[in-house]
């Protein structure tokens, strides 16, 4: 970080490529008096017009892997009495806000880790409904289908944000920022389509996003130790040596 534009003021600028949300644990962690957050969302989610192939009451378990899936699902499904499993605290809290009891909350490290956790609570020969986004991999479906009946329903899609802030693009091109935080492969792809052929200071939320970054011959300056927004904030603070007095 020896670029002449990378002075102390630019160092304090953190560009967030994920949508701004109220009560976000990422914002709670940051020392707001020491940094400037530039909101630069590169992806957005949209509810799909989906259909259920089997009656909801058929399923022993309904599994959610993202908070983005909760509202679209219950808008169509209505009140249910199935057991519910969620990956990560954020997804679990979203379900609870809709008045649902969550029978199991995974730690949210990854789909592979979530599978290991589920083996302790879901016994063979269960009927399972996976509620996902269109870009979610089939890791859970493939593995859970070995011993169970598994059905998948995509309830939302992830797409590139159509209108982006040109002033932030200009700032990035001029290297007048501290770090850029990315939380999904989709955001990475959009970032490099907007700003190609440039080495960027990116901090990744986890291994899957880091893998996407490396496809562009770029190494992230840091990757969150545990996938999640609070850990992403810690990685940013550590890299920028801010708030660690």
Q: Which has the higher per-residue pLDDT, 166 or 10? A: 166
Phi and psi dihedrals of 78, rounded to 5?
Answer: 70, -165
pLDDT reading at 20 higher than 90: no
User: Can you give the C-alpha Rg of the chain in angstroms?
Assistant: 19
Q: What is the mean pLDDT of the chain?
A: 88
Calculate the CA 43 to chain-centre distance: 11
E strand map for the chain? 13-16, 36-39, 43-47, 61-64, 83-87, 104-106, 127-133, 149-160, 179-182, 202-204, 222-223
Q: Do 158 and 65 contact (CB within 8 A), yes or no?
A: no
Q: What is the model's pLDDT at position 32?
A: 61
Domains of the chain: 8-42+162-240 (3.40.50.10090), 45-159 (3.40.50.10090)
Q: Which has the higher per-residue pLDDT, 59 or 4? A: 59
- In DSSP notation, 138-204 reads SHHHHHHTTTSEEEEEEEEEEEE-SS--HHHHHHHHTT--SEEEE-SHHHHHHHHHHS-S----EEE
Taking the complete model, does pTM exceed 0.85, yes or no?
A: no
Q: What is the model's pLDDT at position 127?
A: 98
Q: Do 159 and 150 contact (CB within 8 A), yes or no?
A: no
Q: What is the model's pLDDT at position 137?
A: 87
pLDDT-derived band at 110, boundaries 50, 70, 90:
confident
Mean pLDDT of 149-166: 94
Q: What is the model's pLDDT at position 59?
A: 97
Q: Which has the higher per-residue pLDDT, 28 or 10? A: 10
Q: Which has the higher per-residue pLDDT, 20 or 166? A: 166
Question: Which contacts of 3-9 are long-range, i.e. CB under 8 A and separated by 24 or more positions?
Answer: 3/175, 5/174, 5/175, 5/176, 6/175
Per DSSP, the three-state class of 94 is helix
Q: Which has the higher per-residue pLDDT, 4 or 65? A: 65
Sign of the dihedral through C-alpha 109, 112, 115, 120:
negative
Q: What is the model's pLDDT at position 23?
A: 46
pLDDT-derived band at 241, boundaries 50, 70, 90:
confident
pLDDT reading at 120 higher than 70: yes
């Amino acid at each position: 970080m020896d670029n002449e534009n990378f002075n102390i003021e630019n160092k304090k600028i953190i560009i967030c490529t994920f949508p701004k949300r109220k009560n976000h644990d990422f914002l709670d962690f940051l020392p707001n008096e020491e940094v400037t957050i530039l909101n630069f969302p590169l992806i957005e989610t949209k509810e799909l017009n989906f259909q259920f192939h089997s009656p909801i009451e058929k399923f022993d378990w309904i599994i959610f892997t993202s908070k983005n899936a909760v509202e679209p699902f219950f808008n169509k499904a209505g009140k249910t009495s199935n057991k519910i499993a969620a990956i990560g605290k954020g997804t679990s809290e979203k379900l609870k806000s809709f008045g649902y009891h969550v029978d199991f909350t995974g730690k949210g490290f990854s789909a592979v880790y979530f599978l290991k956790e589920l083996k302790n609570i879901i016994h063979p020969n269960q009927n399972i409904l996976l509620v996902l986004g269109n870009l979610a991999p089939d890791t859970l479906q493939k593995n859970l289908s070995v011993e169970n009946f598994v059905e998948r329903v995509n309830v939302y899609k992830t797409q590139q944000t159509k209108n982006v802030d040109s002033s932030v693009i200009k700032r990035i091109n001029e290297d007048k920022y501290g770090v850029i935080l990315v939380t999904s492969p989709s955001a990475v792809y959009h970032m490099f389509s907007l700003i190609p052929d440039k080495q960027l200071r990116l901090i990744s939320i986890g291994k899957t996003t880091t893998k996407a970054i490396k496809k562009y011959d770029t190494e992230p300056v840091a990757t969150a130790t545990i996938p999640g927004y609070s850990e992403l904030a810690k990685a940013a603070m550590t890299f920028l040596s801010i708030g660690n007095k």
